[in-house]
Amino acid sequence: MKAENPVIDAITTRRSVRQFTKEPVSDEAVDQILESGLWAPSGKNNQPWKFAVIRDLTLKEPLAGLTHSRSIIQGAAVCIAVFLDHTRVYDRTKDVQAAGACIQNMLLTIHSLGLGGIWLGEILKNKEKVAKLLGAGEDLELMAVVAIGWPAKRSGAGERDSLEKRVLCRR
Ligand SMILES: Cc1cc2nc3c(=O)[nH]c(=O)nc-3n(C[C@H](O)[C@H](O)[C@H](O)COP(=O)(O)O)c2cc1C
pLDDT in tens, 107-163: 999 999 999 999 999 999 999 999 999 999 999 999 999 999 999 998 889 999 999
Euclidean distance between CA atoms 164 and 161, whole angstroms: 8
28 has a pLDDT exceeding 80: yes
The pocket around ligand 1, CB under 6 angstroms, is made up of: 15-16, 18, 69, 118-122, 158
Q: How large is the average pLDDT for residues 5-17?
A: 97
Residue 100 Cα to ligand 1 middle (Å)? 12
Residue 122 Cα, ligand 1 centroid: separation in angstroms? 9
Which residue, by CA, sits nearest to atom 29 of ligand 1?
A: 119
**The pTM is what?**
0.97
In terms of Cβ atoms closer than 10 Å to its own Cβ (0-12, 13-18, 19+), residue 5 is exposed
| DSSP assignment letter at 143 | E
